């Protein structure tokens, strides 16, 4: 639903413009997601990209799948678009004379992999080939410009898609900076990365676009966060003291303090 954040108002109030759709390696319309939780497929292991593994769909959001590699733990889930070239129907690897590999950090002894594979696939619901989509082609060149707005995956919290701005250009790379955050989440990616989307993407897919952060450099009044009704904001507003948002006080990492002072702080 996109919460209460409105790109329309935000763009007007920031005087910024959205990066045009032709800049992105994304479909003209987001691909339909016909996957179901529990379905299995083949996926490249994100931590060991030469390995093709078995993955299970553990969640769905918009055009993306939350995936977990079979034999791995639940701490390394990753997200892929349904038109990603990094996912394939089961059988694809073998068809190309490849071997399915255990994931990095396989829970069992490596020697038990063949039996594990047999068991994990036995009676499994395999995602049918027709629900996979072809990956869109990459635009010919990097046509982003500094200051353009976009929606981007927060790579440190990849379930989040957030309002972002192109902060710099470096050849085929763009610096993705997150609006309202101080820079800890920023990253460089190729212009044809699958982690960046045109403004309006989430509202088309039904993904929940995060509102901008409240930690840095935002205009003083942002009615786009609360549909105009000042004073009754449902979201933290700019001006709130830092460190109040998105983190429970008790879970804050202990700071190293001592007679040597705030070393490295
Ligand atoms: N719990 C995290 C969440 C940060 C998310 C930042 N993204 C949206 C750019 C924190 O407060 O550090």
ipTM: 0.93
Q: Is the dihedral of CA 241, 242, 247, 253 positive or negative?
A: negative
Question: Quick one: pLDDT at residue 3?
Answer: 54
CA distance 3 to 151: 15
**Which residue has the CA at smallest separation from atom 7 of ligand 1?**
154
**Which residue has the CA at smallest separation from atom 2 of ligand 1?**
246
Question: Quick one: pLDDT at residue 225?
Answer: 63
Q: How far is the CA of 85 from the centre of ligand 1 (A)?
A: 28
Task: State the burial class of residue 34 (Cβ atoms within 10 Å of its Cβ: 0-12, 13-18, 19+).
Answer: middle
Strand partners of residue 175 = 168, 188
Decide: 160 in ligand 1 pocket, CB within 6 A. yes
Question: Quick one: pLDDT at residue 216?
Answer: 81
Number of residues that this document lists for the chain: 265
Q: What is the DSSP letter of 100?
A: -
Which of 156, 158, 159, 216 most suits a substitution to test ligand 1, by most atoms within 8 Å of the C-beta?
A: 156
Q: What is the DSSP letter of 157?
A: S
Question: Quick one: pLDDT at residue 1?
Answer: 43
User: Which ligand 1 atom lies nearest to the CA of residue 210?
Assistant: 8
Beta-carbon-side half-sphere exposure of residue 189 (alpha carbons within 13 Å)? 20
Strand order in the sheet with 78-81: 78-81, 64-69, 48-61, 40-45, 87-88
User: Which ligand 1 atom lies nearest to the CA of residue 185?
Assistant: 9
CA distance 186 to 166: 10
265 residues of the chain, pLDDT tens digit each:
445 799 999 999 999 999 999 999 999 999 999 999 999 999 999 999 999 999 999 999 999 999 999 999 999 999 999 999 999 999 999 999 999 999 999 999 999 999 999 999 999 999 999 999 999 999 999 999 999 999 999 999 999 999 999 999 999 999 999 999 999 999 999 999 999 999 999 999 999 999 999 988 655 556 666 544 443 333 333 433 444 444 444 444 433 333 332 333 3
pTM, 2 dp = 0.82
Task: Strands of 78-195 (E only): list them.
Answer: 78-81, 87-88, 149-153, 161-170, 173-178, 187-190
Q: How far is the CA of 239 from the centre of ligand 1 (A)?
A: 17
Which of 246, 251, 252, 253 most suits a substitution to test ligand 1, by most atoms within 8 Å of the C-beta?
A: 246
Decide: 78 in ligand 1 pocket, CB within 6 A. no
CA distance 101 to 225: 46
**Which residue has the CA at smallest separation from atom 1 of ligand 1?**
246
Question: Quick one: pLDDT at residue 150?
Answer: 98
CB 113 within 8 A of CB 102: yes
Question: Quick one: pLDDT at residue 215?
Answer: 86
Q: How far is the CA of 183 from the centre of ligand 1 (A)?
A: 11
């Amino acid at each position: 639903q996109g919460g209460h954040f409105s790109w329309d108002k935000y763009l007007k109030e920031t005087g910024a413009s959205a990066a045009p759709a032709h800049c992105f390696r994304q479909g003209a319309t987001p691909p339909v997601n016909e996957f179901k939780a529990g379905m299995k497929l083949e996926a490249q292991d994100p931590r060991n990209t030469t390995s093709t593994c078995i993955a299970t769909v553990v969640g769905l959001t918009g055009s993306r799948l939350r995936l977990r590699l079979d034999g791995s733990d639940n701490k390394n889930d990753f997200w892929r678009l349904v038109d990603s070239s990094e996912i394939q129907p089961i059988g694809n690897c073998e068809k190309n004379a490849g071997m399915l590999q255990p994931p990095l950090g396989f829970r069992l002894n490596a020697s038990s992999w063949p039996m594990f594979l047999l068991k994990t696939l036995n009676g499994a619901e395999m995602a049918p080939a027709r629900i996979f989509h072809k990956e869109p082609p990459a635009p010919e060149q990097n046509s982003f410009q500094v200051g353009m707005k976009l929606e981007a995956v927060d790579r440190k919290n990849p379930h989040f898609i957030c309002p972002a701005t192109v902060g710099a250009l470096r050849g085929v790379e763009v610096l993705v900076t997150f609006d309202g955050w101080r820079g800890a989440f920023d990253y460089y990616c190729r212009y044809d990365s699958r982690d960046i989307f045109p403004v309006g993407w989430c509202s088309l897919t039904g993904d929940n676009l995060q509102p901008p952060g409240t930690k840095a450099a935002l205009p003083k009044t942002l009615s786009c966060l609360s549909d105009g009704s000042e004073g009754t904001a449902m979201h933290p507003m700019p001006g709130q003291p830092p460190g109040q948002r998105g983190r429970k006080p008790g879970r804050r990492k202990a700071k190293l303090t001592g007679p040597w002072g705030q070393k490295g702080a």
